[in-house]
Chain A
Amino acid sequence: MSQEEAKQNLEDIEKSNQVQNNIQQKDGEQQIQDGKQLSPEEELKLREKKAKKALNAKIYDLQKKLSRGIQVISQTEGKTPEELFSFKEATSNLFVLHFGIGEEVDYVTVKDYVNSVAGTHKLTVFPGLGYGYIQFDDVKKAEQTINSLERFEQIENCHYKEMTYEKKTRPTLFLYAHCKLTDICQNKNNDFPEASRKVDAPGLLFQEEFITQDYEKLIMEEIDKKEWNRLAKRKVQHYGYEFLYGINSINKDNKKDPIPDFLNNLMQTISKEVIKGEQPELDQLTINDYYPGDGIAPHFDTHSPFEEKIVIVSLNSGIVMSFKSYKNEEKHLFLPPRSILVLSGEVRYAWFHSIASRKVDKVEGDFNFRRRRVSLTFRTVQFKPCRCAYPFFCEDQGYDPVTMKKNNPLLPRDYHAKDDSTKVVAPKSEEEQKILDEVQQVITDGKPTNLEQKYVYEVYEKIAPHFSHTRYNPWPKIESFLKGLEPGSLVADIGCGNGKYLDCHNGDIYMIGTDRSENLISLARNRGEEIQVFSADCLKLPWVSSKFDNAISIAVIHHFSTPELRIHAINEILRILKVGGEALIYVWAFEQTEKSFSEQDVFVPWNLQNKYEDEKVVKGEIKPNTDIQINEAKQSVVYKRYYHVFKKGELEELISRIPNCKINDSYYDHANWVVKIEKTSE
């Protein structure tokens, strides 16, 4: 080796030893400061000596890094180095020790390098960890990567490259992996689902690059001139109306600053392309400031305060939003900066959306490291009750949002904490099926059949006192219906049972109740001397036509065994109503958690406690005119009531066959489907 070559070699080593040189320099400076003038040979020797020292230091350093790295991976993964690494043979996957913290710069630096030497690959980094994992589709690419690296013969398995991470330079080591990515992904905090740039969910609309970069920049600047409101976890700004976090609603009486002018262009485009006159214009804006690591728990926007369409514009950084349906379908959508997301229909009313609290998202095989993201959420304040098609999720249609998750019948069975087997209604017995088949074949001509006689009338007559004992709380929606009626209204409670609604009004209306069960009617009468009740059949009401202002029929019509009889009962309600009069009809819902059904025509057991029962029946000495079972364990006699439980929309369909009425409202309340119908003509 010539002197020049030796010198060149040294310079190379010196260059590659930059980091160590910084430390070595001090020695060098020391030497010069000693004031000795060195001859060229001496200088070369000294440099050789320094280079060797530096080399040794570097080897020492790399050796330490390599063994420390292997140890760390091994400890973190809970596996031996032999399980993790392939020291002898090439494999198509590599571990990379980047010694960072798994943030964006580590990802980008490694990825750029591997791209430049081997091309396509999939790099995974783990937040908080100093190593990553590279997958190739071909072992050759892994070899290419390894071969591109520098190495020291003195250190086994050491393939490294000095890489510059932003401004800092760190040696980065690569090793063949023996394990799969899935073997090391256990309990990793980046074991999260991969998002798409496009998802299908009913009612979800999404468009990338909805605004220009210039406009985005302008909006960001203007927003930052405004004052931020600090919440526990993030900062917000509100315009149009005040948003109340405790109840997730807005204060409709408290108008705040209007939506700022610099958003006018955006608002106009949204109005034209999204709102399209289908709801009043957007008039409420919430701006959220999200930093990497911020998230928002699964939720949907409460129905009542806002109209259907909700518009979300993302600025400055992308983020993954997750959507989950009540059927547990999950979708993960990447919202890049400048994109618009519109939630409407099912996804707005009945899907949960959330943003996971993390600093990075996986998007179609790639990582998206989050930066500061500002989101604009536009809504239209609603001044009427919500009447969406998703009553189970709707506080305006009788579902309490607090208990919604727990009791929501639309959620899968395993969503609920515990299934109570007593709630499960058994399928019909052969005998029950036979009686049902028989009555469904005859033309009833508005007369109750043998089935109503045996499985409804007889049973209520028997269980009346016990039944009444369990039915004392009026349901709030019915109570408020009655309390909202015009003073002086004539109101019929058809099938009034123990009469709990007969005195549940403010005294200005005149209520009359009827029921088929004389025992229940007597109980109703006992509520007070002024209570007005009649024994009557709701298929043949004893009143003159077209007199009543209102009627209620609570949990009655589901006791009829044929559609013909159900329609007959509704017709009879309409007959007594005046034109323009309104009736409230409740029927048991198939979709409920209070009971679970496998079919719509069911025989629901009633456990009549022995204290309510005739002793002779308990002893089996006499038999009532219906099927009973003596349940000795529960000290009760089991009666069965016939029900036709209604599926969603079925009651509306039934009513659509009746010409002289219209449906003013329909909703779900207390395991019942409900309609408000109005008589439109005689």
Chain B
Amino acid sequence: MRLLSHNLLQCNVKNCKSNNFPLKIQVDKSNIINCEFRKEPLVKLIPKLDWSALAITVHNLAKNKDFPEKYNPALLDDLKFMQDLHRILMETHIIEGALICEGCNKRYPIKNGIPNMILNDEEV
């Protein structure tokens, strides 16, 4: 699972309405899988991100306090930053671990890069 995908995920357990996004990531195994850096699609993706959720995730995972908490259009012209962002969003894959909802503590396991988001009967 890429961190870009993670940026879209939320907990959908019945009545879990607050603190259900972003999901906390427990990493047991992650991988960097290189892929081509293409600026144009990336630039178009940025406005669709939840930037603050991304910043929280990056801060939690990488303890990287440099990652800006707020989006700023000037970043688009910073090639170094854009390449870093590409690495974070597109090349970082969570292979094993779990996603944990901070609102209801629901735990979604990740196996072989696939998060299992299926809810139990009583959770729907």
For the complex, what is the distance from the CA of A549 to the CA of B48, rounded to whole Å?
A: 9
Q: Is the CB of B41 within 8 A of A529?
A: no
Closest to B33 in A: A529
Q: Which of A447, A525, A541 contacts B121 (CB 8 A)?
A: A447
The verdict on B86 contacting chain A, using a C-beta distance below 8 Å, is: no
The verdict on A516 contacting chain B, using a C-beta distance below 8 Å, is: yes
Q: Is the CB of B117 within 8 A of A536?
A: yes
Q: Is the CB of B41 within 8 A of A508?
A: yes
Q: Which of B31, B93, B115 contacts A534 (CB 8 A)?
A: B115
Where chain A touches its partner, the secondary structure class is loop
Stretch at the interface among A205-213, A486-494, A668-676: A486-494
For the complex, what is the distance from the CA of A533 to the CA of B48, rounded to whole Å?
A: 19
Q: A447-B124, A488-B43, A530-B35 are in contact. Are A544 and B115 (CB under 8 A)?
A: no
Q: Is the CB of A534 within 8 A of B35?
A: no
Per-residue CB contact flags for chain A residues 441-452 toward chain B (1 = under 8 Å, else 0) read 000001100000
Q: Is the CB of B114 within 8 A of A535?
A: yes
Q: Is the CB of B44 within 8 A of A488?
A: yes
Question: How near does chain B come to A442, taking the closest CB pair, in angstroms?
Answer: 14
The verdict on B27 contacting chain A, using a C-beta distance below 8 Å, is: no
The verdict on B58 contacting chain A, using a C-beta distance below 8 Å, is: no
Contacts of B61 in A (CB 8 A): none
Contacts of B10 in A (CB 8 A): 542-544
The verdict on A518 contacting chain B, using a C-beta distance below 8 Å, is: yes
How many residues belonging to A are interface residues under a CB distance threshold of 8 Å?
35
Q: Is the CB of B9 within 8 A of A542?
A: yes
Closest to B99 in A: A542
The verdict on B112 contacting chain A, using a C-beta distance below 8 Å, is: yes
Per-residue CB contact flags for chain B residues 1-29 toward chain A (1 = under 8 Å, else 0) read 11011001111100000000100000000
Question: How near does chain A come to B18, taking the closest CB pair, in angstroms?
Answer: 14
Q: Which of B4, B8, B38, B45 contacts A543 (CB 8 A)?
A: B8
Question: How near does chain A come to B74, taking the closest CB pair, in angstroms?
Answer: 19
Question: How near does chain A come to B91, taking the closest CB pair, in angstroms?
Answer: 9
Q: Is the CB of B45 within 8 A of A521?
A: no
Contacts of A542 in B (CB 8 A): 9-12, 108, 115, 117
Question: How near does chain A come to B44, taking the closest CB pair, in angstroms?
Answer: 3
The verdict on B84 contacting chain A, using a C-beta distance below 8 Å, is: no
Q: Is the CB of A533 within 8 A of B114?
A: yes
The verdict on A514 contacting chain B, using a C-beta distance below 8 Å, is: yes
Q: Is the CB of A535 within 8 A of B115?
A: yes
The verdict on B75 contacting chain A, using a C-beta distance below 8 Å, is: no
Contacts of B43 in A (CB 8 A): 488
Question: How near does chain B come to A535, taking the closest CB pair, in angstroms?
Answer: 4
Q: Which of B33, B44, B117 contacts A535 (CB 8 A)?
A: B117
Question: How near does chain A come to B72, taking the closest CB pair, in angstroms?
Answer: 19
Q: Which of A532, A541, A543 contacts B2 (CB 8 A)?
A: A532
For the complex, what is the distance from the CA of A542 to the CA of B108, rounded to whole Å?
A: 11
Per-residue CB contact flags for chain A residues 560-587 toward chain B (1 = under 8 Å, else 0) read 0000000000000000000000000000
The verdict on B116 contacting chain A, using a C-beta distance below 8 Å, is: yes
How many residues belonging to B are interface residues under a CB distance threshold of 8 Å?
34
For the complex, what is the distance from the CA of A188 to the CA of B11, rounded to whole Å?
A: 79
The verdict on A327 contacting chain B, using a C-beta distance below 8 Å, is: no
For the complex, what is the distance from the CA of A512 to the CA of B45, rounded to whole Å?
A: 14
The verdict on A510 contacting chain B, using a C-beta distance below 8 Å, is: yes
Q: A532-B5, A542-B10 are in contact. Are A518 and B116 (CB under 8 A)?
A: yes
Q: Is the CB of B40 within 8 A of A488?
A: yes
For the complex, what is the distance from the CA of A56 to the CA of B31, rounded to whole Å?
A: 117
The verdict on B119 contacting chain A, using a C-beta distance below 8 Å, is: yes
Q: Is the CB of B124 within 8 A of A446?
A: yes
Q: Which of B12, B33, B45 contacts A490 (CB 8 A)?
A: B45
Q: Which of B2, B4, B21 contacts A544 (CB 8 A)?
A: B21
- Residues of chain B in range 35-52 having any CB-CB distance to chain A below 8 Å: 35, 38, 40-45, 48, 50
Q: Is the CB of B5 within 8 A of A488?
A: no
The verdict on A522 contacting chain B, using a C-beta distance below 8 Å, is: yes
Q: A521-B114, A525-B113, A542-B9 are in contact. Are A547 and B44 (CB under 8 A)?
A: no
The verdict on A537 contacting chain B, using a C-beta distance below 8 Å, is: yes
The verdict on A540 contacting chain B, using a C-beta distance below 8 Å, is: yes
Per-residue CB contact flags for chain A residues 311-355 toward chain B (1 = under 8 Å, else 0) read 000000000000000000000000000000000000000000000
Q: Is the CB of A543 within 8 A of B41?
A: no
Contacts of B79 in A (CB 8 A): none
Closest to A537 in B: B118
Closest to B22 in A: A544
Q: Is the CB of A540 within 8 A of B112?
A: no
For the complex, what is the distance from the CA of A447 to the CA of B120, rounded to whole Å?
A: 10
- Residues of chain A in range 437-478 having any CB-CB distance to chain B below 8 Å: 446-447
Question: How near does chain A come to B98, taking the closest CB pair, in angstroms?
Answer: 13
For the complex, what is the distance from the CA of A38 to the CA of B99, rounded to whole Å?
A: 137
Question: How near does chain A come to B112, taking the closest CB pair, in angstroms?
Answer: 6
- Residues of chain A in range 482-511 having any CB-CB distance to chain B below 8 Å: 486-490, 507-510
The contact sample of 25 A-B pairs, CB cut-off 8 A, is A446-B124, A487-B41, A488-B45, A488-B48, A489-B44, A512-B8, A514-B117, A521-B114, A522-B112, A522-B114, A530-B2, A532-B1, A533-B114, A534-B5, A534-B9, A535-B114, A539-B124, A540-B124, A542-B9, A542-B117, A544-B8, A544-B50, A547-B48, A548-B8, A549-B48
**Leading 10 A-B pairs by shortest Cβ distance:** A488-B44, A542-B117, A536-B117, A535-B116, A488-B41, A544-B10, A532-B5, A487-B41, A543-B8, A508-B41
